Amino acid sequence: MHLHSRRSTPGDDADFGFDPLALEGDAREVGADEGPALFPFAADFPPSLLAESSSRVDEPHDARVLVRVRDLEGLGRRLDAIMVLRQSLGEEPGNVRLRHRLAELLEASGEEDTALEELEAGIRATRGNAALKVQRGALLARMGRHPEAEQELRAAIATTPDSVDAALHLGLSLLRRGRHSDALPELERAQSLDPQRGDVAFHLGEAWYHGGQLDRALQNLMRASELAPEDPRAYKLLGRLLDRMGRTEEAMVMHRKAREAGH
């Protein structure tokens, strides 16, 4: 039985649904507000954070973990998401999907060196997983450590020659170093492996642009804008390219499309 512990006064517990005239020791009625009182903000949290959904019982463990990580990120709780991934990787150190996601979150948090360490740990645990090598090489390139990046990416290509991402990121690393002629074969190989990749078409067009081959650049950038119309990068570079070619009105159209795609 619930008892009132003190006499309430108007403006105090009355605001929260209690009887202001109840006397100490009087029996309380069992109300329907016990749950909300104990969990006042429960409705703000997705069900996956409070309990596992029955519809996910048959899903692989790593898929359930990634759903939980996504939900935590949606709530702005990136550190908790990282903790969940680390805890899961303690049980499955060779899980490539979880290791990949952890490295992404660490990089997004500005912890690039820690992300590299996690990727290296994953590579050791999997005895040289090519996808993790590609991710590590791409991260090294974004950090400006191009010789290391290219070494890692070439090692990935040696074991997985049909990896589009390995060829793409190797080409990008070379392109960022101003080695356009070396970048082109890698980017062309990436395109031959997957002609439907808009990002590959864009970076190939970028390489032709910086190499002074404007017609080929135009062809690839137009292709990129068709494959990924929501990406403003192709429109931006097309605007600059068409300005350079003296096609001002067409350039203005591309600049406008770039602004629209950026919103």
Of the ranges 8-17, 149-158, 230-239, 243-252, which one carries the lowest mean pLDDT score? 8-17
Q: Is residue 231 part of a domain?
A: yes
With b for 16 or more beta-carbon neighbours within 10 A and e for fewer, the 115-133 pattern comes to bbebbebbbebbeebbbbb
Q: Is residue 241 part of a domain?
A: yes
| Distance in angstroms (rounded) separating the CA atoms of residues 209 and 204 | 9
Q: Is residue 260 part of a domain?
A: yes
Q: Count Cα neighbours of 123 within 13 Å in the Cβ-side half-sphere.
A: 19
pLDDT grade for 57, boundaries at 50, 70 and 90: low
The CATH number assigned to the domain holding 242 equals 1.25.40.10
Q: Is residue 165 part of a domain?
A: no
pLDDT grade for 59, boundaries at 50, 70 and 90: confident
Q: Count Cα neighbours of 248 within 13 Å in the Cβ-side half-sphere.
A: 0
Q: Is 101 in contact with 132 (CB distance < 8 Å)?
A: no
Q: Is residue 261 part of a domain?
A: yes
The total number of structural domains in the chain stands at 1
3-state secondary structure of 27: strand
Q: Report the candidate in 178, 200, 202 with the shortest Cα–Cα distance to residue 189.
A: 200
Q: Is residue 114 part of a domain?
A: no
Q: Report the candidate in 229, 228, 235 with the shortest Cα–Cα distance to residue 251.
A: 235
For 171-222, write each residue's pLDDT tens digit: 999 999 999 999 999 999 999 999 999 999 999 999 999 999 999 999 999 9
Q: Is residue 63 part of a domain?
A: no
Q: Which residue has the tokens 């068709």?
A: 226
For 85-106, write each residue's pLDDT tens digit: 999 999 999 999 999 999 999 9
Q: Is residue 166 part of a domain?
A: no
Q: Which domain holds residue 223?
A: 198-263
